[in-house]
Structure 1
């Protein structure tokens, strides 16, 4: 009976946690919202990363060129695999992170250390990279690198046709081109993101998981935006290499890039050090706002669940 009278933030409260399936659901809904809002920036990022000849002078020039030569709809190329990919990715990321965190929670207090959060985030990032991100991004990037809207002139007619063509021409493993840099990018990103998001929620808003407090959407957006900023800077080379490896086709010749390390060395030798951070600005325009949108939706769902089912408070 002693725990019922103790401070809820020390003993009783931390034992209450949101189940992984609710975190997975909240992440998938947030992913849908993010995809619809930010797809054009992702298309521009991909085009800039694949540009070896200086066709595009920057973000605005790239967007204007694509719109002028291919139509506005071209900015939403690859939306179907992108939206599906984000929905599944966030569901797996949020759910697996919750499961992994449970293994690091203190059995008495229910609290988890920052070390545990880092490992759980990295594990969730590795899992999402292998199961969902790599094959979906291979299809998305192949679709995005095609110029023009005339179906008869395009090699890949759509997401399903693209996947089938890759499997037929390159084998099943063709859908996992660039898996190594994707694993490194996503693992590092999620380790930093989950740890930073929790830290900023506590520091800025005094919000602890399970305390029944529902953040306002703008509060979640601020925490999510800041937490989503560090990853792109740290993982820029992995993202560029991932895009190059995924974009190259094994059809009819030798591969330019033999693997992650070879790609890094080749890009550095041929294009210079800064080429490994190509597309960084559009990544910063997409990822932090994307995290802000996703967390604004996810935190509302999880916060309402906390109040209704963990604290029995009226909605």
Structure 2
């Protein structure tokens, strides 16, 4: 809910929340997608025997990607991400509000443990969409890095598309091919949501309220609450995100599950490898959730459905 606690409404309206979440996700991911692509490539790039690597920093990755693939190369894999981010964010944000509603007291108060439980359940529900979305996104993003290296070696490069990848995964592994890395995705998303939602709500409750008597925080405070909570949660789960990214990427080192990925990464690269792309991830997730949370609270779904958002939840 993320606003000052009031008497619990008699009914929870899920449809406008789903609409709000979908709109929030599309706007948020469109704004930060280039940074997300850089994060993926930094996390999954191989290191040579003498420490050589393709990208030396965030700025270097941006420069080399644009030089080799053009500006729109920064949006490689974005179509599938934007398409699936609508149900993903709709589920995540709406489910958190739904569980918070049912776990709150009659006065609308949600204790910290119950807020964490609501967030965790929201994170668990979203992986149905998140896993295939991120699998395709990561493989599309990483395909650019692999293609650049292949061209540099004088090899022929076959164009990779999201539809082609989907057909290949379905042909080779069936529907479960789209759920490669689902365990790591679940661990990351549940942990993230347990941290993010209670922290965001707590920060949001501390800010100045609107003058309309609704009890809602002013928009810039909601954006800041989403940004700060998103940044904190994103940094905390960076090691889990690195593991998930490596399990889902198509090239490079192969892993037999989460523990094998942890073992091989520690052996080959050390502890610091689990924080690869961490700064970039924080730069992606903080603004993404700040923007998404703000648009979610605007209540576009209620407006479309002709509902008074101050009288519904």
> Is TM (by shorter chain) over 0.5?
yes
State the Cα distance separating 1:299 from its structure 2 match: 1.2
Would the aligned equivalents of 1:16 and 1:310 in 2 still touch at CA under 8 Å?
no
Spell out, residue by residue over 1:225-262, the C-alpha distance to the aligned partner (whole angstroms, 9 max, x if none). 11111112221111111111111379xxxx82000111
TM-score by length of 1: 0.84
Matches within 5 A, 1:147-186: 147=144, 148=147, 153-154=157-158, 156=160, 158-186=161-189
Matched residue, 2:284: 286
Q: Deviations over 1:179-231 (max 9, x none)?
A: 11110111111111110111011112358xxx723443322211111111111
- Equivalent residue for 1:199, pick from 198, 202, 218: 202
Structure 2 partner of 1:6: none
Match of 1:237 among 236, 239, 243: 239
* Partner in structure 2 of residue 36 of structure 1: 30
Q: TM-score, normalised by structure 2?
A: 0.85
Q: Aligned in 2, Cα 1:214/1:70: closer, same or farther, shift over 3 Å?
A: same
Deviations, residues 250-307 of structure 1 (Å, cap 9, x unaligned): 9xxxx820001110111011011010111101101100000111112111117977xx
Q: Structure 2 vs 1, CA of residues 10 and 40 (structure 1 numbering), >3 Å: closer, same or farther?
A: closer
What are the Cα deviations for residues 89-140 of structure 1, in whole angstroms up to 9, with x where unaligned? 110112222222233122x3232212111001001101111x1011111111
Q: 1:225 to 1:310 in 2, by over 3 A?
A: closer
* 2:25 is equivalent to residue 22 of structure 1: no
1:139 to 111, 136, 151: 136
Find the counterpart in structure 1 of residue 45 from structure 2. 51
> Contact 1:23–1:302 (CA<8 Å) still a contact in 2?
no
CA distance in structure 2 between the partners assigned to 1:99 and 1:56 by the alignment: 43
SS at match of 2:8: helix
Q: Runs of 5+ in structure 1 lacking a partner?
A: 1-8
Correspondence list, 1:61-210, <5 A: 61-106=60-105, 108-129=106-127, 131-147=128-144, 148=147, 153-154=157-158, 156=160, 158-205=161-208
Q: Over aligned residue pairs, what C-alpha RMSD do you find?
A: 2.7
| 1:15-39, Cα deviation, whole Å (9 max, x unpaired) | 3676222222111111111121111
Q: C-alpha separation between the residues in 2 aligned to 1:175 and 1:303?
A: 30
5+ long unaligned stretches in structure 2 = 48-52
